[in-house]
Amino acid sequence: MKNNSSTTNQTNIRFEIVSKLLIPQGTLLAISVLWMLIFPNDCVIKYFKLNLQVLLIGLGAGIALAFAGYGFYFFAKRTKLFYEAVELFEQNLSPIIKRLGVLDIILLSCVSGSIEEIFFRGLIFKKVGIIISSIAFGLLHLPKPRFWIYALWATGSGAILALLFFWSDSIWTSIIAHVTNNLIGMILLKNLKQN
C-alpha cells in the first residue's frame, strides 16, 4: 500500500513539473498561431524543408551546443568564475530534472525545441534580426537576475540557432539542433553528480 502511494505521489510530482515547464511553451505557441493568423505572410510552414543535410547539420550543431554548455559548466565549477551557473545547474535544474522520467525529458525537449524555434527564429528573427531575437531568447532563459550568465549563454545559443536557420533556409535545422541540445542537456542534468 505504501509503495503504491509513493508511486502515485511521484507521478503527481512529475505531472506538476512537466505542466509548469510547458506553460511558457503553450503561451509561445498561442502567440505564434495568432501571429500567423493575423499576418498570413509570416507563416513559417514554408520553412519546413527537411533533407539529410538539414538533419545532419542540426544533429551536429545540437550535440556541439550541448557539450559546449557542459564544458562551460565544468569551467565555471573548476575556476569559480560564473559560479552562479554551477548553482543554477546543481541546485535548481538538476534536482527538477532528476524527478522526471525518460518520456518526460523527450516530451519537454521536443516541445520546447520546436515551439521556441517557430517563435524566436521563424517569426521574431525574420522580423527584427539576429540581435533582438537572440536577446529575447536569452531573456526567456533568465530565471533570476543573478543567473544572468545563463541568459547570456542562451543569447549566444539563440544567435547560433538563427544562423543555422538563415544558412539552411529550413526551420528544421534549428529545431533539430535545439531539441538535440535540450535532450542531451537534460540527460546530463539528470545524471549530474554534485561534489
Rounded CA separation 164/79 (Å): 31
Rounded CA separation 181/160 (Å): 12
The residue extents of the domains of the chain are 2-190
CA angle 39, 41, 45 (to 5 degrees): 105
Confidence (pLDDT) at 23 = 92
Q: Is 70 exceeded by the pLDDT of residue 20?
A: yes
8 Å CB contact between 17 and 100: yes
Confidence (pLDDT) at 151 = 96
Confidence of residue 137 (pLDDT cuts 50, 70, 90): very high
Q: Is 90 exceeded by the pLDDT of residue 182?
A: yes
Q: Is 60 exceeded by the pLDDT of residue 94?
A: yes
Confidence (pLDDT) at 138 = 97
Q: Is 90 exceeded by the pLDDT of residue 17?
A: no
Q: Is 60 exceeded by the pLDDT of residue 164?
A: yes
Rounded CA separation 118/122 (Å): 5
Confidence (pLDDT) at 125 = 97
Region 24-43 average pLDDT = 96
8 Å CB contact between 134 and 155: yes
Q: What is the pTM of this model?
A: 0.92
Confidence of residue 9 (pLDDT cuts 50, 70, 90): confident
